[in-house]
Amino acid sequence: MSENIYELNENGTVCGLRDRVYVHNNGLLHLAVQCWVMNKKGEVLIQRRSATKDKSAGKWDVSFGGHCIEIETGKDILIENVIKEGKEELGLSLSSKDIIKLGEIRYSSQENKNQELLGIFLIQLDNEQTFIFEDGEVSEVKWIKPEQLYDNIIHNQKEYANRLGAITLLKFYKV
């Protein structure tokens, strides 16, 4: 299934929408979001990617995220895509007031075929949440302290997706 995502110029400005496969095949910079979900204990939620995913199958990854697809004119591309991805991957019903922006990072993988400007976000949950993952992207989730996750990433790299570097942005956020 074809999907149009936001292509960016080298300055990070949106150029327009372009087919996801074309963007990846040509190593074009594009917009994506990553979101960390944190509970009141200061633990973050990580997800195990489905075994059927084309990239990082079966590996532990950020709470949720994805490429930014077209949204309604006048709305914030990043925020709207965080809301969409949270619903799709974990069954969360989010609004813009639930979302805290931690920063942005550039990410490159697949021999520079995947060039992303990642908006990094945080969602803090007030209570124990039931997660629903019906779209087949997530196989399980678990809570973990950020320090333990960081240590696990360093010592067990093969178990984790390679784009978890944004975990360092959580160091500056206090519950």
Tens digits of residue pLDDT in 9-26: 999 999 999 999 999 889
Q: How far apart are CA 30 and CA 118, in angstroms?
A: 9
- Report the number of secondary-structure helices (H) and strands (E) in the chain: 3, 9
How does the average pLDDT of the chain come out, rounded? 87
Superfamily of structural domain 4-172: Nucleoside Triphosphate Pyrophosphohydrolase (3.90.79.10)
Q: How far apart are CA 37 and CA 109, in angstroms?
A: 24
pLDDT at 63: 93
pLDDT at 78: 96
Dig out the tokens for 27 from the structure. Answer: 């190593």
At residue 113, does pLDDT exceed 80? no
CA atoms within 13 A on the CB side of 174: 0
Which one-letter DSSP state was computed for residue 169? G
Where along the chain do its domains lie? 4-172
pLDDT at 121: 95
pLDDT at 172: 58
Provide the residue type at 66 as one letter: G
Q: How far apart are CA 141 and CA 129, in angstroms?
A: 11
Per residue in 59-76, pLDDT (tens digit) is: 999 999 999 999 988 899
Q: How far apart are CA 56 and CA 158, in angstroms?
A: 9
Which one-letter DSSP state was computed for residue 163? T
Per residue in 114-133, pLDDT (tens digit) is: 789 999 999 998 767 788 88
Per residue in 34-48, pLDDT (tens digit) is: 999 999 999 999 999
Residue with tokens 């917009």: 31
pTM above 0.85, yes or no: yes
pLDDT at 1: 61
pLDDT at 112: 66
